[in-house]
Amino acid sequence: MSTPTKLFEPYKLGPLNLPNRLVMAPLTRNRAVAGMVPSPLAVEYYGQRASAGLLISEASQVSKQGQGYQDTPGIYSREQVAGWRKVTERVHQRGGRIFLQAWHVGRISHTSLQPDHGAPVAPSAIRAKGKTFVGGTFTDISEPRALKLEEIPGIVESFRRGAANALQAGFDGVEIHGANGYLLDQFAKDGTNKRTDAYGGSIENRARLLLEVAKAVTSEAGAERTGIRISPVTPANDVSDSNPQPLFDYVVDHLNALKLVYIHVIEGATGGPRDIAPFDYGSLRKRFKGAYIANNGYDFELATKVLAANAADLIAFGKPFLANPDLVERLKRGAPLNTPDKATFYGGGAKGYTDYPVLGDALDAAQ
């Protein structure tokens, strides 16, 4: 045993007893090739990682309209629920716990993925600079249309139904995807939301959709099984806000009132620098009575330091979990980590998905 760390101490997350403080972050893998249904390989992939304190599934669209990239799984059809059930059963058999991440991409989509090949939907008709992955290639994101006021209850309902489906599929809870420039983040931030109705303008109005969705999901899953992911300052997907601190202080105060079990906070630029913009994450930590899951660029040392300072309860690891099914064991032993292979992150089959070796395999291979 080297550095003393809280990383391997148990944690009670609502009704769940987590054996350690490591969370597998949601990771988009684009392998749900048949009807946006998780494949048998997904069963294997999540099952291999069941020693995490908590697994969070890859982002899963709550409706066809909510899809923005090819071959991402859904949580709106009977077949998708049946596919996910096999995943949750495997994870539970292996002694793990798993939340579903419920997603609506909003404007980050392409007409070819949309119902009737229509325009993707957004708070305002502002096209995102960027590409999405469709038809096997990177393509410009399509011009969106602004959602009509009367369409908004349908969006909330799609998240509620997604949560109900997730529970039916055997998930232990639901994480609302409120981060990374997707629909709920597009509404919350003033760079993307220019509405003049009850869902635009003031902080209260811009946060309204996210909070209505949080309320709808808690009505299905229970607050003790509902978490949310936010990314106050990320520039991901061309999103921005002129004053994120009061916005996210407000959001977190209201999530606290709804008694959500956790906030999962991407600190800095998603998958990039942690110090991209000034932001007081400690303010969110202080305001929120539930668990704080910290994410973005954590390694053993930083995780140990942040847990020791009580600045977070749990730490979410993305790429390290992708490449190391036995990440918990490796960190415990101070063993070297496999390197993630970027070429196989999105799409494909078993390669770079279910074939990363665990410690014993590496020893076997060396013999």
Which residues would be at the binding site for ligand 8OZ (CB under 6 A)?
Answer: 28, 59, 69, 179-180, 236, 270
Q: Looking at the DSSP assignment, which residues form a beta bridge with residue 61?
A: 74, 103
Q: How far is the CB of 198 from ligand 8OZ (least distance, A)?
A: 27
- Nearer to ligand 8OZ by Cβ, of 293 and 331: the residue is 293
- Nearer to ligand 8OZ by Cβ, of 175 and 313: the residue is 175
Alpha-carbon distance of 72 to 42, in angstroms, equals 12
Alpha-carbon distance of 73 to 354, in angstroms, equals 17
- Nearer to ligand 8OZ by Cβ, of 179 and 216: the residue is 179
- Nearer to ligand 8OZ by Cβ, of 20 and 296: the residue is 296
- Nearer to ligand 8OZ by Cβ, of 69 and 159: the residue is 69
Q: How far is the CB of 236 from ligand 8OZ (least distance, A)?
A: 6
Q: Looking at the DSSP assignment, which residues form a beta bridge with residue 294?
A: 265, 315
CB distance 303 to 5 below 8 Å: yes
Alpha-carbon distance of 261 to 256, in angstroms, equals 9
Q: How far is the CB of 360 from ligand 8OZ (least distance, A)?
A: 31
Q: How far is the CB of 133 from ligand 8OZ (least distance, A)?
A: 7
Q: Cα 119 to chain center, whole Å?
A: 24
53-to-19, 96, 187, 305, 326 alpha-carbon distances in Å = 5, 7, 32, 18, 12
The CA-based angle 77-47-175, given to 5 degrees, is: 50
Of the candidates 291, 292, 266, 289, the residue with the CA atom closest to the CA atom of residue 279? 266
Active-site residues, by number, are: 182
- Nearer to ligand 8OZ by Cβ, of 51 and 270: the residue is 270
Q: How far is the CB of 59 from ligand 8OZ (least distance, A)?
A: 4
CB distance 361 to 352 below 8 Å: no
CB distance 338 to 357 below 8 Å: yes
Q: How far is the CB of 161 from ligand 8OZ (least distance, A)?
A: 20
Of the candidates 353, 99, 122, the residue with the CA atom closest to the CA atom of residue 229? 99
Alpha-carbon distance of 106 to 99, in angstroms, equals 22
CB distance 233 to 244 below 8 Å: yes
